[in-house]
Amino acid sequence: MEIENANFYMDGSKALGMNEFPPLFFQHFWEEVGNDIFALVNYFLNKGHIPKELNSINITLIPKNVIYKIISKVLTNRLQEIIGT
């Protein structure tokens, strides 16, 4: 649930780059892509790194920057719980 919350927290209309899907794509198609995003974010949280294949693919259905932003938001939310803000 925290990964889904991080995804929907982002401003869906912000474009990340010319060849990347905006967060709105992931929000709109969460039912279709949510399991894959969940697996990628959990992989990072458990292993501590993003699979190198995610950065080496020229054409991908899961652009790297949205995944980074979701991971960043999940970590921020976890830290806020610890710090108590």
Ranges of residues in the chain whose predicted pLDDT is under 70 = 15-19, 55-64, 85
Residue-wise pLDDT tens digits, 40-53: 899 989 998 887 77
User: Which pLDDT value is given to residue 64?
Assistant: 61
The structure tokens listed for 38 are 């969940």
User: Which pLDDT value is given to residue 35?
Assistant: 94
User: Which pLDDT value is given to residue 70?
Assistant: 87
Asked whether 10 and 22 are in contact (CB, 8 A), the reply is: no
User: Which pLDDT value is given to residue 60?
Assistant: 47
Residue with tokens 């697996």: 39
User: Which pLDDT value is given to residue 68?
Assistant: 82
The structure tokens listed for 49 are 């790194």
**Domain ranges for the chain:** 2-10+21-83
